[in-house]
Chain A
Amino acid sequence: MIRRQRTAAGVLALLAALTAGLAAPVPAAADETAQPAPKVELVLDVSGSMRTRDIDGGTRMAAAKQAFNEVLDATPEEVQLGIRTLGANYRGDDRRTGCQDTEQLYPVGPLDRTGAKTAVATLQPTGWTPIGPAIQKAAADLGGGDGTRRIVLISDGEDTCQPLDPCEVAREIAAKGIGLTIDTLGLVPDAKTRDQLSCIADATGGTYTSVQHKEELSDRVGQLVDRAADPVVTPVAARGTAGCADAPALKSGLYTDRVDLGRERWYKVDVPAGRELRASVSVADDRAVTPNYGVLLRAVTTHGREIVRGESSGTGRTDVASTGLRYPRPESDDDNAPAETVCLQVTDSFSAAPGVKTTPGLPLELTVDVVSGTHQASDVASFGLGRGWWLLGVLVLAGFLAGLIWGWLSRWRVAVWRTN
């Protein structure tokens, strides 16, 4: 039965204090650790095209600088902010040199607003647009720590340093499972820029914004930096296997993995008697996929019998396909009844659009909760109680008839007694 959580909190705290270290199940560590500092790196395109005067009458560079100033003022205290530029230094025509032109303007760390602003003020639109290498370096800048990590990429043109596809770079970074999100902003973008930037964003679960006006830019960048400051549970990396026998055993918590398109992943969870297993899974499509998709989550016994499944399918544009299941185990009379091992199988039926790479697999997010069990229903209605006019009618009729019969019976009894 669901108790009022607040009243129960005190009791629980006491219980937790008493039983600490004895029998408390260890939750996935990430959920409860003190929130590490969120890190954000702003990556700004300082290529020659930023000179174009088409944002509210000013140059793109001027708009970006103004936005940076506003964002630096409004950055929450706890956020560690860094700034990286691309195409800021090399003016020449040598492609190889131009494509390595990315520099950390301001290191990721506690923010010195004045210092950062001064650094931004010196920027002059100059060179090439090496987006791919810039993202790689930015990811390295943010390396280490368990906090939220975000790259905000502001660019006005597509990458000029092929064949290194920035979209592939982004997907590789995401595949490392370090929980890094890349949000992209296109300044007055053309179709190619838009496709490339939105591909980068999709690959890492970020967002893409097209900017036409100055205030849109500062609003959006500010919003993204604020978003990074929100505490978020960081998932723990798990590695599912192809079968149940050697599957990793999971406890309550949030996990992440990769599942190949159309393949399956297995995990194991121990469920004691009288407890309920709840699992939900989301498979994100981080690349172009065909518009019909599905995901299936099955709970299977170690002998291969299916207990319960959750399935969902859909069509059209989507970020994730998700489903869940719950499996309440009945109470056992035997206090020492062993926990049942339940295998969880995750399969997806995404298929990649033609010409799209299928490796690495799609990012998968798995939530596992083992909570106190349900109180089984013994009737359809609450406590078997009745309701409605038919109930009243039947009860009144039955009562009336009972009264009549009782009355007649007693009259008859009196009559019989008198005659005797």
Chain B
Amino acid sequence: MRTVRTLGAALLLIGLAAAPAAADSTPSPGASGDTKAPTRAGTSFRTATELDQGQRATASGSTGDYLYWSFPADTGQRPTVEATVRLPRAHGAQTWQLDVYDGLRRRQACQYGAATRAAGQDTSSVALTCVLRTVRGWSEPWANDPLPGTYYVRLTVVDLPPADLGLPVRTEVRVGSKDVGGPAAVDGSLGKPLVPGIATRRSSGSDDTASDSGGARSAVLSAIEPDDGWSSGWWSDRWVWTAVGGLLAALAGIGGYALTRGAGRPSRVPPGV
């Protein structure tokens, strides 16, 4: 009986330790690093510069430009977009704004972070942040929930004195994400991630290999993909929790059963009786 109890306690401990550990792990620090970080930005959804999570993209532009980047976000991630704008030496009071759109070009709300910020005349830089909601594997078509796929970042000045229009600015954008994992694991899944133009891309299957070998870049609306491919949405730490729960229930059942049977043969009864 003692061995069973010890085993039960050990399993409980493993369960206690493993489940939250799996949930809180924060990977995706951008495995690819800053080696190929883009140094320019697009000017529309169609021309948005693709950016991997963890990369720090820089771009020089003019005040008044609408600068676009796009990045992939997968199920269970909670992306954070950070942007810094270095303003010219002399400028008036300006307001900068960071907007994030999903693959369907629907605007996505920021949970927290200053996505709009005013810069006074003597400020040299503006820092903007937007923490998105957790990306779900599936949602009803009537909902605006973030879904796996391409996300667009638009950085622009929304309010400026006319004299500042066209002055040079330097911008920097970084996208990171926190892996929320199990708590956000919902049922259902999309047939394809929300990547614009994915229908036309897939219908000519061999296109990818052709562009890889030939070196010629063919135009697609968005060729974005996380480093390790889109997740299937099948795995979540809910499997661990449920399995551990079942195991514990079985052990508790054995424990309860044992209680009703007493502690085995009474010790005062001599053996052989």
| Closest 4 pairs (CB-CB, A-B) | A403-B256, A407-B260, A324-B104, A399-B249
Knowing A32-B200, A385-B242, A399-B248 touch, does A191 contact B162 (C-beta < 8 A)?
yes
Write 7 A-B pairs (CB below 8 A) sorted by A numbering.
Answer: A27-B200, A35-B218, A380-B187, A385-B185, A385-B236, A386-B238, A395-B246
A275–B190 Cα distance when bound, in Å, is 11
A25–B249 Cα distance when bound, in Å, is 53
Interfacial residues, chain B to chain A (CB-CB below 8 A): 15, 19, 40, 43-47, 60-62, 64-66, 97, 101-107, 137-138, 141-142, 148, 156-159, 162-163, 165-168, 182-183, 185-194, 196-209, 216-221, 225, 229-234, 236-239, 241-242, 244-246, 248-261
Q: Residue B44 contacts which of A15, A191, A319 (CB distance < 8 angstroms)?
A: A319
Known: A34-B216, A324-B105. 15 other contacts (CB 8 A): A2-B230, A35-B216, A208-B165, A209-B168, A233-B197, A253-B200, A254-B197, A319-B66, A365-B45, A375-B191, A391-B241, A395-B248, A395-B249, A399-B250, A400-B252
A24–B199 Cα distance when bound, in Å, is 12
Interface size for chain A: under 10, 10 to 19, 20 to 34, or 35 or more residues?
Answer: 35 or more
Stretch at the interface among A5-13, A101-109, A131-139, A349-357: A5-13
A210 adjacent to chain B (CB < 8 Å): yes
Query: B221–A233 contact, CB under 8 A?
Result: yes
Knowing A254-B221, A383-B187, A387-B182 touch, does A280 contact B255 (C-beta < 8 A)?
no
Query: B219–A231 contact, CB under 8 A?
Result: yes
Q: Residue B238 contacts which of A280, A314, A382 (CB distance < 8 angstroms)?
A: A382
Knowing A2-B193, A403-B256 touch, does A208 contact B62 (C-beta < 8 A)?
yes
A338–B167 Cα distance when bound, in Å, is 56
Query: A195–B162 contact, CB under 8 A?
Result: yes
B102 partner residues in chain A, CB cutoff 8 A: 324
A177 adjacent to chain B (CB < 8 Å): no
Q: Residue A308 contacts which of B97, B141, B201 (CB distance < 8 angstroms)?
A: B141
B224: shortest Cβ distance to chain A, in Å? 11
Chain B CB count within 10 A is highest, among A276, A312, A382, A396, for: A382
Query: A308–B137 contact, CB under 8 A?
Result: no
A406 partner residues in chain B, CB cutoff 8 A: 253, 256-257
A276–B209 Cα distance when bound, in Å, is 26
Q: Residue B253 contacts which of A35, A367, A370, A399 (CB distance < 8 angstroms)?
A: A399
A266–B232 Cα distance when bound, in Å, is 36
Interfacial residues, chain A to chain B (CB-CB below 8 A): 1-6, 9, 12-13, 15-17, 24-25, 27-28, 31-32, 34-35, 186, 189, 191, 194-195, 197-198, 205-210, 216, 219-220, 223, 226-227, 230-235, 252-254, 275-276, 278-282, 308, 310, 312, 314, 316-320, 322-328, 365, 367-388, 391-392, 395-408, 410-411
Q: Residue A392 contacts which of B65, B142, B209, B248 (CB distance < 8 angstroms)?
A: B248
Knowing A324-B106, A375-B138, A387-B238 touch, does A6 contact B101 (C-beta < 8 A)?
no
A151: shortest Cβ distance to chain B, in Å? 15
Knowing A282-B45, A402-B256 touch, does A382 contact B185 (C-beta < 8 A)?
yes
B264: shortest Cβ distance to chain A, in Å? 13
A310 partner residues in chain B, CB cutoff 8 A: 104, 106
B156 partner residues in chain A, CB cutoff 8 A: 317-319
